[in-house]
Amino acid sequence: MLTITLPRPDDWHLHLRDGAMLRAVLPESARHFARAIIMPNLVPPVVTLTDAVAYHGRIKAALPEGMAFDPLMTLYLTEATDPADVARAATSGLVKAVKLYPAGATTNSHGGVRDLAKVLPVLEKMAEIGLPLCTHGEVTDPEVDIFDREAVFIDTVLAPLRRRLPDLRVVMEHITTEEGVAYAAEGGDNLAATITTHHLILNRNHILVGGIKPHYYCLPVAKREKHRLALRKAATSGSPRFFLGTDSAPHIDSLKEHACGCAGCFTATNTMPLLAHVFDEEDALDRLAGFASLNGPAFYRLPVNAARMVLEKRSDPCTWPDKIDTEAGPVTVFNPGFPVHWHVVS
């Protein structure tokens, strides 16, 4: 047996949804994670401080008795967002970031930004007060191939924005490419990137070879093997620029296994055993704490969690449920396709 101990981890990109789905999936994250950056793409989205306060209250009300979990709220950036409201949200301490969705880029993003020039007053205020911008880093131009949308976003949107507002603190969420890794690595102290569990495991062959696997389909979509290997190298490098954001995104099976299936992998249940497996394969278990527990709090200027997590490698593989039952229907838990021998024991 092999045992490792690390500060209780955080998830810096999480979808909890609302209502019955929230009540069903929240315990899966709260079991292992102390805090999470909560995505605001509800219907309607979490646009204002008032919206964030209300959603925070619903999350806390849904938390099972005896579980400790701190939801860190975000605002959904629109072309009508008020800079003064964003400043009040930051001052409140409840809201830790603002989320940029290019309109049409992913689930519930139709109310996102079409013209970046229209949100510059908000971004200028955020740069002034130090509130991070979390980006879904893809362009939505139909002329751009889906596998190139991240690289094009960096070149045509993110790099020009950061040249214009060098003090803006930016998190490149769920990066999926060599280009994303390279840009984040050289971006300086005001730039960081999250990497998901599933993008460390999947390439596009896993989605398409032998038949379409809807539960491996996510956005940004998994790319070529060379990109997956670049992500693994970045995550296990020890660089403070990279940290965990699962992008765990629950959808009921009937909406995933559909003629136009929803994007998202639900990894909240088994992320930590999967990460230990990946870091073990990369001979980098000594760097797992940095990726999962230390680098995120450092960027968000928050304390490291005092509580500890212990993982143990055993001869018997982990087991977890195939599905999480919700009132709306079952949600399939991410299946990596191989046995995992790392167990969370406390």
- Residues in a beta bridge with 172: 135, 193
Sequence letter at residue 217: Y
Taking alpha carbons only, the member of 200, 252, 345, 214 closest to residue 25 is 252
pLDDT-based confidence at 14, cuts 50/70/90? Answer: very high
Structure confidence at residue 283 (pLDDT): 97
Q: At what angle do helices 49-62 and 83-92 cross, to 10 degrees?
A: 40
Taking alpha carbons only, the member of 333, 337, 308 closest to residue 323 is 333
Per-residue pLDDT tens over the stretch 121-177: 999 999 999 999 999 999 999 999 999 999 999 999 999 999 999 999 999 999 999
For residues 103-118, average pLDDT: 92
Taking alpha carbons only, the member of 105, 51, 108 closest to residue 74 is 51
pLDDT-based confidence at 107, cuts 50/70/90? Answer: confident
Report strand pairing: 308-313 vs 2-7. antiparallel
Structure confidence at residue 248 (pLDDT): 98
Answer whether residue 220 shows pLDDT above 80: yes
pLDDT-based confidence at 108, cuts 50/70/90? Answer: confident
pTM above 0.85, yes or no: yes
Percent of the chain with pLDDT over 90: 98
For residues 314-322, average pLDDT: 97
Contacts of 190 (CB under 8 A, 6+ apart): 162, 166, 167, 168, 169, 170
Sheet with 342-344: strands ordered across: 2-7, 308-313, 342-344
The token duo for 307 is 């509580």
Give the mean pLDDT of the chain.
Answer: 97
Taking alpha carbons only, the member of 113, 29, 131 closest to residue 74 is 131
Residues of the domain holding 71: 2-344
Number of compact structural domains in the chain: 1
Residue 247 is among the residues annotated as catalytic for this protein: yes
Percent of the chain with pLDDT over 70: 100
Answer whether residue 244 shows pLDDT above 90: yes
Structure confidence at residue 55 (pLDDT): 98
Taking alpha carbons only, the member of 245, 269, 318 closest to residue 37 is 245
Answer whether residue 1 shows pLDDT above 80: no
Per-residue pLDDT tens over the stretch 41-91: 999 999 999 999 999 999 999 999 999 999 999 999 999 999 999 999 999
CATH number, residue 34: 3.20.20.140
**Given 141, 247, 286, 322, the catalytic residue:** 247
Backbone angles phi, psi at 13, to 5 degrees: -170, 105
For residues 30-46, average pLDDT: 98
Q: 253 with 261: CB under 8 angstroms?
A: no
